[in-house]
Amino acid sequence: MHIHSKLIAVGIFFAMLSSVAHSQTTAKPAASTKSNTLTNKNIIDLQKAGLGNEIILTKIAQSKCAFDLSTDGLIDLKSKGVSADVIKAMMNKSESGTGNSSSATTGQVKSNSAGNTTAIAHAVELMNHVYVLQKGDQSVKPLEKSMAGKRTRNYGFKGVQVLQVDGANSGVSLATGDVEYFLINTGGALPEVNLYILKSAKGKREVESMSVGTFEGAKTGEKHQVPVNISKLDNGVYKILPGKTLEKGEYFFTTKPEATATSFDVYTFGVK
């Protein structure tokens, strides 16, 4: 009986192991077939989850989308609590195409004319997101929003703080000399922004923002910045004009991060 009980126990153990292995192998195909395309249902789910408009708008700008914008589809979105701003962004995205997208190709809105500051200001829909007004076609479009992390490096008697973002290049590419100016909608407050020149290394873009040396003391990364002039364009919307022509390379804007933050939002672009 003792040997028989052991055989039963071993059999149960292998049956359980086989069951776990089977559940793991059958779960994998389901994960691999998950669609990354944003639909009306995804937007409604994000709204129900309590995510703010800014997060949903950014998600739309950075995703491949397949929205139902028929009359019935729009009525359903509104009845489910989706805001007018989000619905408008969905319609703008569909007009610009629903293929693989980034903020380089979506949310682009042409102003009526170079001097029509009201039309230009109204095109800046995302709060605290940096946009660019291009000289060529006088279009306003958002820069690519990314997450930058702070990194520290030690070089003997010197420590360096580096701001680093993934990817060797931004998804937004601008032609040399085609930048009229940049814009940001803060809702009222004067923006605190810095424009950094980046270098690409090992699949990342980075810039030295601060250094502390035993003999040279503390230094900020001003030599890696482009000076900017900020002026009011319209109610809550500000114009950011670089103090010099932007040469070929990679760049990002930073807005004022929390002092203790180890990562924060940046708005990236490249000049070709």
Mean pLDDT, the chain, rounded, equals 79
Q: Is the pLDDT of residue 174 over 90?
A: yes
Contacts for 199-204: CB closer than 8 Å, 24+ residues apart: 199/250, 200/168, 200/169, 200/250, 203/166, 203/167, 203/168, 204/164, 204/165, 204/166, 204/167, 204/168
Domain boundary among 54, 82, 101: 101
73 and 130 fall within a common domain? no
Question: Is residue 171's pLDDT more than 60?
Answer: yes
Is the pLDDT confidence value at 272 over 50? Answer: yes
Q: Work out how many domains the chain is built from and give that number.
A: 2
Give CA–CA dist 152/135, Å, rounded: 39
Task: With respect to residue 10, please indicate whether it lies within any of the assigned structural domains.
Answer: no
pLDDT band at 128 (very low <50, low <70, confident <90, very high): very high
Query: 78: domain range?
Result: 27-101
Q: Which segment of 95-109, 174-188, 257-271 scores lowest on mean pLDDT?
A: 95-109
In a domain, 138, yes or no: yes
Tell whether 228 is covered by a domain: yes
Arithmetic mean of pLDDT, 141-170: 89
Average pLDDT over residues 32-46: 78
Q: Output 246 or 5, whichever has higher pLDDT.
A: 246
| Lowest pLDDT segment from 5-19, 103-117, 219-233 | 5-19
pLDDT at 148: 92
Examine the domain organization and report whether 146 and 267 are in the same domain: yes
Pair 87, 177 in one domain: no
